[in-house]
């Protein structure tokens, strides 16, 4: 049983987990089984460790949407699960194994190593669960799934076998992103391209036939390359077919230096005549663009590298049809064999120079590909991999978006999706790892391929005798393969479950823009292929959370924030320890410590979940970057405190009082009618904002209403009424409206800030509810507030907006000339019309109370010295004398401000007449300076006028 009053101070740590456990144990996160369905699947977090700010941001958006839909009466499912994250998890467990036992995975074997990963999974799945609960996420824990669960693994096998049997999966030697440290193919998503300063080497390639020369009479052509080490694998030299300098050489041959290979000069439109000399070396087995050039020109593939990125002892030579070519020499100079590629580069450059074949070297900036996980340079490498022939899968997925069956929000991401899908390439789905879905493929001693779930099924399916030896492929499937099945797989497809019937297709997917291609597109393709339905109707795409300096948050940068540390607080020492724990570079450690101490000199204080959630919602714009600044978190912490204190005020003033619950003849004031009208508008604005996935707008309008309308105006006004011993007839109405507005605020705010609203609700509901239909167990069980258009009184809104404008103006005059705070003022009004006068008369008591006036007088002329501001056609004058201000102090302040403005105006004006500055400065900077000059001139003139007025007192 809840107490019927709130604690004096809002202390989140004492209420949050208590409430969460109550919701969870009460079954409030389960689908109700009533109403239209609304379903959403969590983008499954990797089991690699703790969740980061991006997860907390994303889960806040999803939970806000889910709680809102639940209150709207939908049969709501938010299904949770985690991803096995093959490569990422395996790396971490391998590091942990080496740190604890000084062993590698090969030392303990595959089965034992996988056992250790399952132990890791159990531990970190619990961490993830704990963090998700701390964020208030109302997921259905009873339906939790893992992408390596038994049922999910069966599904993955079924899909692979089905695609293979249909001819859509094949095995072949193709060029892939190869990580020479992890010894596996990786996806484009796991590659980071970093711009680096390097060189462009110009080498002389001699013609094979001695009688051939260039137009300049040279017996060689010069090629430019950024990768000298791959000369050993060149299969041709390419020029642009329209390049007049070389058209007569097309079809001629080169004698490749170092290996004496005869290679042709070919024409290809990929070559840019302006790059280098307009001639490029082509190494199809070690460059993706070169691979395409070679394929177009019927070339061959020569692999010079081992999987460790060393020079091979013998070349591997293939056709584009995967046939081994034996007719070419596969030998390499002994001095290069077994060298790492960086070392080979140095020796090859030196050898080319000694042979007189190094023309020149130029500085050059290029992008180098690194493995996100390993940090080593990624090599395009020719390896045996499994692929999906993606074309037939992509066409329905393109159509689904073009026809509007799936809508992207914001819609600019639709174009991004379609552009990628229309230029899609076959998908490499195999990885050379141990952790993951092992590929259900078996080989015999002749490397024939057999596909089935297990060896017994292989023998039965292919009628193989027991004397035929079989071995299973050691590779596992790309994590994105199983993730692509997430939506329907988590609902136990192909079994025709009740969940599948009720909740599939899901309603919405909320995800980051960076995985549209790698996850969203593949889910659409797989779902359409196997379920014949789209997996979701709406894809809401959000940006990536970055730090306050605009940098991506990463452990290597030492700028990561743990959302739990923002909720519970953390000392500066503990924060530094967390940030440098895996950093080895001492210079980097010093930099991280310095930056952390600057940004968080006293550590991070406790903010609670709701303040963090509200901060996330307020920055959920449609842009790609979501900049997080802890300073704004202070503001939303204050906002939560403001709501708490407002609720305490209401509860204290309704406890044991007649609030007119069953009284139909309550007398309301103009401000009562106004606040009723404004909250109807608020309901419309928040509902529409959530419909449009503009979480930032929903947070903004709610914040402005609670802070400005309810607390600063209505609650302050209510104090005048409730403290007045005479106005009993209005007290009833004011108490009633205080309750009505608070009740609606709590319901509207609950999806965004669930903990504080529930805690207030539990106290509030014990004392009062405007209807008898409210659910006492939880605010979650109550209906979403609906706007009543007939309660919007436009005349009340106009009158109160006029009144607020008058009060603001009088307060501003007081503040501007530093009138003594307790001094009662006389206001003289010049101008205005009969309506203005009538409004003054009707609201005189409020104007007096809010602005500390003693008298208001309408006049036709102002004789004495006064200071004024305008409200519409009215001038509001305050007569200035020594009784209400300190003349000397005020004059000194004004003089200082005049001098400051003079300096600013002079400096900007000087810049704007400087011709050099005007010619060089960007347009935006010029516009900004002109605006600053204009604003400061206006303020300067205002100070001059003010000075003259006060000086003449």
Please tell me whether residues 343 and 465 are part of one structural domain. no
Specify the residue for token string 């740190």.
99
Closest by CA to 250, choosing from 207, 286, 289, is: 207
* Sheet (strand 358-371) strand order: 220-225, 191-206, 358-371
Question: For position 331, which CATH number holds?
Answer: 3.90.740.10
Specify the residue for token string 């979701």.
536
User: 301 by DSSP, 3-state: which?
Assistant: strand
Counting other chains too, the contacts that 181-184 makes at CB distance below 8 Å and 24 or more residues apart are 181/371, 181/374, 181/375, 181/376, 182/87, 182/91, 182/371, 182/373, 182/374, 182/432, 182/433, 183/307, 183/308, 183/432, 184/87, 184/431, 184/432, 184/433
Closest by CA to 715, choosing from 739, 698, 732, is: 739
Domain termination site, one of 368, 395, 413? 368
DSSP assignment string, 53-116: HHHHHHHHHHHHHHHHHHHTT-EEEEEEEEB--HHHHHHHHHHHHHHHHS--HHHH-HHHHHHH
Please report whether residue 304 resides in a domain: yes
Asked if residue 567 lies in contact with residue 633, where contact means CB atoms within 8 angstroms, the answer is no
Q: Compute and round to an integer the Cα radius of gyration of the chain.
A: 36
Please tell me whether residues 646 and 785 are part of one structural domain. yes
Please report whether residue 711 resides in a domain: yes
Look at residue 484 in the predicted model and tell me its pLDDT: 96
Please tell me whether residues 228 and 343 are part of one structural domain. yes
Instruction: Quote the tokens at residue 890.
Output: 């005020």
Asked if residue 117 lies in contact with residue 90, where contact means CB atoms within 8 angstroms, the answer is yes
Please tell me whether residues 772 and 655 are part of one structural domain. yes
661 marked as binding residue? no
Please report whether residue 399 resides in a domain: no
Look at residue 1 in the predicted model and tell me its pLDDT: 45
Please tell me whether residues 623 and 749 are part of one structural domain. yes
Domain termination site, one of 451, 471, 491? 471
Look at residue 881 in the predicted model and tell me its pLDDT: 60
Q: How far apart are CA 687 and CA 325, in angstroms?
A: 67
Q: How far apart are CA 15 and CA 10, in angstroms?
A: 9
Please tell me whether residues 451 and 314 are part of one structural domain. no
Please give the tally of structural domains in the chain: 4
Please tell me whether residues 339 and 465 are part of one structural domain. no
Asked if residue 405 lies in contact with residue 536, where contact means CB atoms within 8 angstroms, the answer is no
Instruction: Quote the tokens at residue 37.
Output: 């369905």
Look at residue 880 in the predicted model and tell me its pLDDT: 66
Please list the residues that pair with 80 across neighbouring strands: none
Please tell me whether residues 260 and 363 are part of one structural domain. yes
DSSP assignment string, 767-826: H--SSTT--SS-GGGSPPP---GGG--HHHHHHHHHHHHHHHHHHHHHHHTT--TT--EE
Closest by CA to 738, choosing from 708, 713, 773, is: 713
Closest by CA to 263, choosing from 273, 272, 254, 250, is: 254
Please report whether residue 313 resides in a domain: yes
Please list the residues that pair with 384 across neighbouring strands: 173
Please tell me whether residues 454 and 320 are part of one structural domain. no
Phi, psi angles (nearest 5°) of residue 403: -85, -5
* pLDDT digit string, tens, across residues 495-547: 989 999 999 999 999 999 989 998 999 999 999 999 999 999 999 999 999 88
Please report whether residue 352 resides in a domain: yes
Q: Which residues constitute the domain of residue 901?
A: 885-952
Instruction: Quote the tokens at residue 445.
Output: 């001693």
Asked if residue 252 lies in contact with residue 207, where contact means CB atoms within 8 angstroms, the answer is yes
Closest by CA to 850, choosing from 810, 880, 817, 815, is: 810
Instruction: Quote the tokens at residue 898.
Output: 């005049």
DSSP assignment string, 111-144: HHHHHHHHHHHHHHHHHHHHHHHHTT---EEEEE
Instruction: Quote the tokens at residue 442.
Output: 């078996």
Please tell me whether residues 680 and 772 are part of one structural domain. yes
Please report whether residue 170 resides in a domain: no
Please report whether residue 574 resides in a domain: no
Residues contacting 859, CB < 8 A, separation 6+:
828, 829, 830
Please tell me whether residues 361 and 451 are part of one structural domain. no
Please tell me whether residues 767 and 892 are part of one structural domain. no
Domain termination site, one of 757, 792, 827? 792
Question: For position 768, which CATH number holds?
Answer: 1.10.730.10
Asked if residue 324 lies in contact with residue 317, where contact means CB atoms within 8 angstroms, the answer is yes
Please report whether residue 603 resides in a domain: no
Instruction: Estimate the share of the chain in helix, then strand, then coil, as percent rounded to the nearest 5.
Output: 45, 20, 35
- Which stretches of the chain drop beneath a pLDDT of 50? 1, 771
DSSP assignment string, 142-209: EEEEETTSHHHHHHHHHHHHHHHHTT-EEEEEEEEEEETTTTEEE-GGGEEEEEEEEEEEEEEEEBSS
């Amino acid at each position: 049983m809840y107490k019927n009053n709130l604690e004096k101070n809002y202390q989140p740590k004492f209420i949050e987990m208590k409430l969460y456990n109550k919701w969870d144990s009460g079954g409030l996160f389960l689908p109700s089984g009533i109403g239209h369905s609304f379903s959403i699947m969590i983008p499954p977090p990797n089991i690699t460790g703790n969740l980061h700010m991006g997860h907390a941001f994303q889960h806040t958006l999803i939970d806000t949407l889910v709680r809102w839909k639940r209150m709207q009466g939908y049969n709501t499912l938010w299904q949770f699960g985690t991803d096995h994250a093959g490569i990422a998890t395996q790396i971490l467990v391998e590091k942990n194994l080496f740190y604890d036992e000084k062993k590698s995975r090969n030392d303990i074997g595959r089965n034992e190593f996988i056992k250790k990963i399952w132990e890791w999974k159990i531990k970190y799945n619990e961490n993830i669960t704990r963090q998700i609960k701390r964020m208030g996420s109302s997921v259905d824990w009873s339906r939790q799934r893992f992408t390596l669960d038994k049922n999910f693994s069966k599904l993955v096998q079924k899909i692979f076998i089905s695609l293979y049997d249909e001819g859509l999966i094949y095995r072949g030697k193709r060029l892939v992103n190869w990580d020479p440290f992890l010894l596996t193919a990786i996806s484009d998503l796991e590659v980071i391209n970093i711009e680096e300063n390097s060189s462009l080497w110009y080498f002389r390639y001699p013609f094979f036939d001695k009688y051939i020369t260039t137009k300049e009479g040279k017996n060689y052509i010069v090629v430019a390359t950024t990768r000298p080490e791959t000369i050993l694998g060149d299969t041709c030299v390419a020029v642009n077919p329209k390049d007049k300098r070389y058209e007569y050489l097309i079809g001629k041959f080169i004698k490749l230096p170092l290996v004496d290979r005869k290679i042709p000069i070919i024409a290809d439109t990929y070559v840019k005549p302006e790059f280098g000399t307009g001639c490029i070396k082509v190494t199809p087995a070690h460059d993706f663009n070169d691979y395409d050039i070679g394929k177009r020109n019927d070339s061959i593939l020569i692999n010079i590298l081992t999987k460790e990125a060393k020079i091979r002892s013998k070349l591997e030579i293939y056709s584009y049809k995967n046939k081994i070519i034996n007719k070419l020499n596969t030998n390499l100079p002994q001095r290069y064999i077994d060298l790492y590629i960086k070392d080979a580069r140095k020796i090859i450059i030196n050898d080319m120079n000694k042979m007189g074949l190094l023309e020149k070297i130029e500085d050059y900036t290029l992008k180098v590909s690194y493995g996100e996980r390993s940090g080593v340079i990624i090599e395009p490498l020719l390896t045996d991999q499994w692929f999906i022939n993606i074309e037939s899968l992509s066409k329905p997925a393109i159509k689904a978006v073009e026809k509007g069956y799936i809508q992207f929000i914001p819609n600019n991401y639709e174009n991004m999706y379609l552009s990628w899908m229309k230029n899609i390439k076959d998908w490499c789905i195999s990885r050379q790892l141990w952790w993951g879905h092992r590929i259900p493929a078996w080989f015999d001693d002749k490397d024939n391929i057999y596909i089935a779930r297990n060896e017994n099924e292989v023998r039965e399916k292919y009628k193989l005798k027991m004397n035929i030896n079989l071995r299973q492929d050691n590779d596992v499937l790309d994590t994105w393969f199983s993730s692509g099945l997430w939506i329907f797989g988590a609902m136990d497809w192909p079994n025709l479950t009740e969940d599948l019937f009720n909740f599939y297709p899901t309603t919405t997917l909320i995800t980051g823009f960076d995985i549209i291609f790698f996850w969203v597109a593949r889910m659409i393709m797989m779902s359409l292929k196997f379920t014949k339905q789209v997996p979701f109707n709406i894809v809401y795409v959000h940006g990536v959370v970055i730090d306050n300096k605009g940098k991506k948050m990463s452990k290597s940068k030492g700028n990561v924030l743990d959302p739990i540390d923002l909720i519970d607080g953390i000392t500066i020492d503990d924060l530094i320890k967390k940030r440098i724990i895996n950093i080895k570079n001492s210079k980097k450690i010093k930099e991280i410590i310095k930056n952390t101490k600057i940004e968080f000199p006293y550590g991070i204080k406790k903010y609670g979940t709701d303040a963090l959630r509200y901060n996330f919602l307020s920055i959920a714009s449609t842009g790609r970057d979501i900049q997080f600044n802890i300073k704004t978190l202070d503001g939303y912490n204050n906002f939560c405190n403001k709501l708490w204190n407002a609720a305490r005020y209401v509860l204290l003033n309704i406890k044991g009082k007649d609030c007119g619950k069953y009284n139909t003849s309550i007398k309301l004031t103009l401000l009562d009618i106004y606040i009723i009208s404004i909250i109807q508008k608020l309901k419309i604005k928040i509902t529409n904002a959530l419909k449009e996935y503009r979480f930032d707008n929903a947070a903004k309008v709610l914040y402005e209403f609670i802070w400005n309308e309810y607390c600063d105006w209505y609650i302050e006004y209510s104090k005048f009424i409730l403290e007045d011993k005479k106005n009993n007839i209005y007290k009833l109405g004011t108490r009633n409206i205080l309750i009505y507005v608070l009740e609606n605020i709590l319901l509207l705010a609950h999806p965004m800030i669930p903990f504080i609203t529930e805690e207030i609700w539990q106290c509030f509901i014990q004392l009062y509810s405007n209807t008898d239909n409210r659910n006492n167990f939880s605010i979650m069980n109550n209906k979403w507030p609906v706007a009543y258009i007939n309660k919007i009184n436009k005349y009340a809104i106009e009158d109160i907006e006029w009144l607020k404008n008058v009060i603001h103006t009088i307060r501003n005059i007081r503040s501007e000339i530093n009138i003594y705070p307790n001094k009662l003022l006389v206001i003289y009004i010049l101008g205005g019309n009969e309506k203005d006068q009538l409004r003054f008369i009707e609201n005189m008591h409020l104007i007096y109370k809010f602005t500390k006036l003693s008298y208001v007088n309408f006049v036709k002329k102002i004789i004495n010295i006064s200071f004024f501001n305008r409200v519409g056609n009215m001038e509001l004058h305050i007569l200035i004398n020594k009784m209400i201000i300190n003349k000397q102090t005020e004059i000194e302040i004004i003089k200082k401000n005049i001098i400051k403005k003079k300096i600013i105006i002079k400096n900007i004006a000087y810049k704007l007449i400087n011709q050099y500055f005007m010619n060089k400065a960007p347009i935006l900077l010029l516009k900004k300076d002109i605006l600053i000059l204009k604003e400061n001139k206006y303020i300067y003139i205002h100070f001059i006028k003010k000075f003259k007025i006060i000086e003449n007192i």
